[in-house]
Amino acid sequence: MSNLWAQNKITFTIQANKPTATVASTMWGLFFEDINLGADGGLYAELVKNRSFEFDTPLMGWKINSAKDVMYGFYFGSDIQLINQPDKAATNPRFIRVALHKTKKGELSLTNEGFRGMGIKKNLRYEFSVFYRQQTATAMLHAELITEKGDIIGSAVLAPEQTDNRWHKVEMSLTALATEPKANLRLWFEGSGIVDLDMISLFPTDTWKGRKGGLRADLVQMLADMKPGFVRFPGGCIVEGRDLAQRYQWKKTIGPLEERKLIINRWNNEVKTRPVPDYFQSFGLGFLEYFQLCEDIGAEPLPILNCGMACQVNTAELIPLESLDPYVQDALDLIEFANGDGSTPWGKLRADLGHPAPFQLKMLGVGNENFGLPYVERFKRFQQAIQRQYPSVKLVGSTGLLSSGEMFETTNADLRKLKVDIVDEHNYSAPQWFLQNAGRYDHYDRSSTTKVFVGEYAAQSVGMTNPTNKNNWRTALAEAAYMTGLERNADIVQMASYAPLLAHVDGWQWKPDLIWFDNLGVMATPNYYVQQLFGANKGNQVVPMLDKNKLPVTGQDSLYASATLDKAASELIVKVVNAGGKAQSIEANIDGLRKLPLTAKVIMLQNNDLEAENSFTSPAIIAPIESIVNVQNKRLKVDLKGYSFVVMRIKL
Ligand code: AHR
């Protein structure tokens, strides 16, 4: 115990009356990518996997129970046929045809396994929907929720009525009788006739804002609680694609769900030790939904678009400059889609899709982790076209995978010559790197008009990107120390986001990740709490916090610190990281404060063990703890425990 408490007293000065920079409202935000089942199987609340039979293996995720269709474990397609009609429906050509001949219960059924099972909650209503087509109304369709053991915990029956041989969507509700983390959905048939089925879907009704076909409320709440200034979407490497055919194309992600063409997810086979053959992008969470999410949680949208280059660590395919126009046009059209009024074609489409008000898009990213001359040449084309038509939209340019080295230096310099508004830097390094780089932006060129977006960063416990990484306290504490440096340099660094954001415990490819979830619940990592504390205690003006030598606090005595003012709340916010195991007593003289005795709210994250992690069973090993300290004679005195991060809020 004794060594946890203060031995030395270290003094600082906080010049609360001398603001040096404005903290951008976008300072702390979110990086969202459909990785680790982040969208399909995660945020997007659809429970049926491969609902439209468009996976490369069309019946993946489905199990057919039929004596005629399955023999020796092989599917033959007799009473349940898989039909492929690309000439009739180019974006969703496959469906199943069920042939019934006085079929009785138990003879013919189809079971969907969900994304690592389906999380089903007792007493919650679920909405089942399906597209059907038939010529006679003599078939019955039963839907059942079944547990891993095979018990039925919810059921409903449907008699499709329309007989015009056209597609109809029909819905029905099932209420769950029990909670089950890994349920399945079974459909069984009885009667006679032929019925075609497609887009078989099951959604919980407790989605975010109760929206039909919406997002998982618990996950969105976690994001909202971070008070993000922006959301960067849809990635990440899925923007670029393994090759250009697999790049993310926003126009294919809007409009009727059944027309959104599914493609493979780049993370399906990217990490050889973590193959996920059932990982595809349904685009149920598409660009309209992303914009809506941003609006809901009060974050600026930051879409990132493909720049005519596939991922440079995969195929590195390039679109020749003379053929780049469609890519540039996609960007122009996206701005019109987000901001145009109903008199513009894309603005009208947004209104027709249910959102007449513009989304006020202010920023757009061109390329993800692209670098080198081919990138800069392409970026320039986008920049010219966008500046001409939409001069107020700020552009974010990529500096590549790494934030040092020749490729970074040259791409960064070239982009700055183009006077790009914001450059995106990525950092996945050892915790030590984050500590050592807490002063990185103290020395940046302040004559450049280009600002910095630290678009992806996360301390890697094993020193490099690797599936054995952990979300331990060591990594979170190092990130907190680094973030004090970002905040102190808010005149340069105007945006930052941890990456990746979400990971399903049974379906991840990449570690570490900010928020872990399973089918029923969510777990905040220590890294999450660090991000949340910065987001919720941002302030809007930086004020100097200096050591006795009048230097910023970037590791002296293992301490890292920054301070801001929250003008609206009239509060001074001080953030201090003690990265050492020894307790330390700090005393900060606050210039510009009244002499009256005041109190400060202190929020602390701490653990004596740098290897400590949160888990689903012990989610608060590292979690915020609040207390109050006195501030007398303009002096803030705090005993910092070893390995701690504290945020202090003092009413001015
Ligand atoms: O965050 C995971 C991946 O890391 C992103 O997709 C990519 O941009 C980076 O390499």
Averaged confidence pLDDT in the chain:
96
Residues 214 and 173 in one domain: no
Of 465, 463, 395, 462, residue with least CA distance to 423: 395
Measure 499 CA to ligand 1 centroid, in angstroms.
7
Classify strands 108-112 and 62-66 as parallel, antiparallel or unpaired. antiparallel
pLDDT of residue 2: 38
Q: Is 57 within the bounds of a domain?
A: no
Residue 6 banded pLDDT, cuts 50, 70, 90: very low
Residues 462 and 590 in one domain: no
Q: How many helices (H) and strands (E) does the chain have?
A: 10, 36
Amino acid, res. 66: S
Residues 639 and 591 in one domain: yes
Q: Among this protein's residues, is 369 annotated catalytic?
A: yes
Measure 457 CA to ligand 1 centroid, in angstroms.
9
Of 143-152, 260-269, 540-549, 587-596, the one with minimum mean pLDDT is 587-596
| Cα dist from 123 to 126, 179, 217, 349, 519, whole Å | 9, 8, 17, 38, 16
Residue 633: helix, strand or coil by DSSP?
coil
Ligand 1 binding pocket includes 478 (Cβ within 6 Å): no
Task: Answer positive or negative: Cα dihedral of 203, 297, 32, 648.
Answer: negative
Nearest residue CA, atom 3 of ligand 1? 236
Q: Is 383 within the bounds of a domain?
A: yes
- Omega before residue 234 within 30° of 0, cis: yes
We report the CATH number of the domain holding residue 107 as 2.60.120.260
Ligand 1 binding pocket includes 38 (Cβ within 6 Å): no
Ligand 1 binding pocket includes 237 (Cβ within 6 Å): yes
Q: Is 55 within the bounds of a domain?
A: no
Nearest residue CA, atom 7 of ligand 1? 236
Question: Cα–Cα distance between 526 and 209 in angstroms, integer?
Answer: 27
Residues 196 and 299 in one domain: no
CB atoms within 10 A of CB 209: 10
Q: Is 643 within the bounds of a domain?
A: yes
Question: Cα–Cα distance between 345 and 351 in angstroms, integer?
Answer: 10
In terms of residue numbers, what domain contains 145? 62-204
- Omega before residue 500 within 30° of 0, cis: yes
Which H or E run contains 113? none
pLDDT of residue 7: 54
Nearest residue CA, atom 2 of ligand 1? 500
Residues 265 and 393 in one domain: yes
Q: Is 482 within the bounds of a domain?
A: yes
pLDDT in tens, 161-200: 999 999 999 999 999 999 999 999 999 999 999 999 999 9
Phi and psi of 372, rounded to 5°?
85, 175
Tell whether the model's pLDDT for residue 5 goes beyond 50: no
- Non-local (6+) Cβ contacts of 607 within 8 A are 473, 526, 621, 622, 643
Residues 223 and 148 in one domain: no
Question: Cα–Cα distance between 572 and 550 in angstroms, integer?
Answer: 19
Domain boundary among 171, 204, 237: 204
Residue 76 banded pLDDT, cuts 50, 70, 90: confident
Question: Cα–Cα distance between 364 and 305 in angstroms, integer?
Answer: 8
Q: Which residue has the higher pLDDT, 593 or 183?
A: 183
Residue 77 banded pLDDT, cuts 50, 70, 90: confident
Q: Is 131 within the bounds of a domain?
A: yes
Measure 317 CA to ligand 1 centroid, in angstroms.
18
Residues 410 and 478 in one domain: yes
DSSP 546-609: E-TTS-B-BSGGGEEEEEEEETTTTEEEEEEEE-SSS-EEEEEEEET--SS-EEEEEEEEE-S-
pLDDT in tens, 473-512: 999 999 999 999 999 999 999 999 999 999 999 999 999 9
Mutate to test the pocket of ligand 1, among 31, 271, 426, 511 (most ligand atoms within 8 A of CB): 426
User: Considering the chain, what percentage of its residues have pLDDT values greater than 70?
Assistant: 99
Nearest residue CA, atom 6 of ligand 1? 236
Q: Which two tokens stand for residue 231?
A: 């959301």
Residue 4 banded pLDDT, cuts 50, 70, 90: very low
Which H or E run contains 394? strand 394-398
Residues 569 and 492 in one domain: no
Question: What number is the average pLDDT over the span 401-424?
Answer: 97
C-alpha neighbours within 13 Å on the C-beta side of residue 558? 18
* pTM score: 0.97
Measure 456 CA to ligand 1 centroid, in angstroms.
7
Question: Cα–Cα distance between 288 and 353 in angstroms, integer?
Answer: 8
Which candidate in 289, 317, 369, 487 is catalytic? 369
Amino acid, res. 529: Y
Nearest atom within ligand 1 for CA of residue 33:
6
Ligand 1 binding pocket includes 145 (Cβ within 6 Å): no
Nearest atom within ligand 1 for CA of residue 235:
6
We report the CATH number of the domain holding residue 416 as 3.20.20.80
CB atoms within 10 A of CB 38: 31
C-alpha neighbours within 13 Å on the C-beta side of residue 115? 34
pLDDT in tens, 18-67: 999 999 999 999 999 999 999 999 999 999 999 999 999 999 999 999 98
Q: Is 323 within the bounds of a domain?
A: yes
Residues 315 and 433 in one domain: yes
Classify strands 152-158 and 62-66 as parallel, antiparallel or unpaired. unpaired
Residue 1 banded pLDDT, cuts 50, 70, 90: very low
Residues 421 and 365 in one domain: yes
Measure 236 CA to ligand 1 centroid, in angstroms.
5
Ligand 1 binding pocket includes 499 (Cβ within 6 Å): yes
Question: Cα–Cα distance between 114 and 126 in angstroms, integer?
Answer: 14
Q: Which two tokens stand for residue 129?
A: 């929907």
Residues 512 and 566 in one domain: no
Q: Is 51 within the bounds of a domain?
A: no
Domain boundary among 204, 227, 250: 204
Nearest atom within ligand 1 for CA of residue 458:
1
Q: Which two tokens stand for residue 592?
A: 């510009």
DSSP 59-107: TTTEEEEETTTEETTEE--SSEEEEE-TTT-SSS-EEEEEEEEEE-TTS
Q: Are 622 and 605 in contact (CB under 8 A)?
A: yes
pLDDT of residue 270: 96
* Number of domain units in the chain: 3
pLDDT in tens, 201-232: 999 999 999 999 999 999 999 999 999 999 99
Domain boundary among 510, 538, 566: 538
pLDDT in tens, 95-151: 999 999 999 999 999 999 999 999 999 999 999 999 999 999 999 999 999 999 999
C-alpha neighbours within 13 Å on the C-beta side of residue 590? 30
Instruction: Residue count of the chain, please give it.
Output: 652
We report the CATH number of the domain holding residue 574 as 2.60.40.1180
Tell whether the model's pLDDT for residue 8 goes beyond 70: no
Residues 616 and 506 in one domain: no
